[in-house]
Amino acid sequence: MNENKYSPRYERPKVKEGLQHAGTLVGKIHPMCNSIPIIPQRNFDNMVDSIKENGLLEPIYINHDKQLLDGRSRLMACFVAGVALTADDVKVTEHSPEAIAQSNVARRHLTKNQKLMLAVDRLSMQRKLAGVKRTVGAEKVRQSQKQPDGAKLARSQQPKKRGPRALEKVAKEEEVPRADLALAEKILLAAPDLQPSIESGEISLEEAANRTGVPRKQTQAPRPKKRKPSRPQRDLSVVTEHGDGIRELTAPGEVAWV
On whether both 99 and 120 belong to a single domain, the answer is: no
On whether both 118 and 88 belong to a single domain, the answer is: no
Q: Is residue 256 part of a domain?
A: no
Residue 57: burial class (beta carbons within 10 Å; 0-12, 13-18, 19+):
exposed
Residues 159-195 pLDDT 10s: 555 556 889 888 887 788 999 999 999 999 999 999 9
Contact 100, 61 (CB under 8 A): yes
Q: Is residue 253 part of a domain?
A: no
Range of the domain at 17: 3-106
According to DSSP, the residues that pair with 60 across neighbouring strands are 90
On whether both 9 and 100 belong to a single domain, the answer is: yes
On whether both 101 and 118 belong to a single domain, the answer is: no
- Coil, strand or helix: which one is 23? helix
The total of structural domains in the chain comes to: 2
Q: Which residues of the chain are under the pLDDT cut of 50?
A: 1-2, 153, 258
Question: Would the pTM of this model clear 0.85, i.e. be above it?
Answer: no
pLDDT of residue 152: 52
Q: How far apart are CA 11 and CA 241, in angstroms?
A: 106
Q: Is residue 235 part of a domain?
A: no
pLDDT of residue 104: 80
- Coil, strand or helix: which one is 219? coil
On whether both 9 and 99 belong to a single domain, the answer is: yes
Q: Is residue 194 part of a domain?
A: yes
pLDDT of residue 258: 46
Q: How far apart are CA 18 and CA 13, in angstroms?
A: 7
- Residues near 111 by beta carbon (within 8 Å), at least 6 away in sequence: 201
Q: Is residue 160 part of a domain?
A: yes
Q: Is residue 223 part of a domain?
A: no
On whether both 15 and 34 belong to a single domain, the answer is: yes
On whether both 122 and 78 belong to a single domain, the answer is: no
User: Which of 58, 81, 106 delimits the end of a domain?
Assistant: 106
On whether both 95 and 119 belong to a single domain, the answer is: no
Q: How far apart are CA 35 and CA 57, in angstroms?
A: 24
pLDDT of residue 17: 95
Residues 186-227 pLDDT 10s: 999 999 999 988 988 889 999 999 999 998 876 555 666 667
Q: Is residue 139 part of a domain?
A: yes
- Residues near 42 by beta carbon (within 8 Å), at least 6 away in sequence: 3, 6
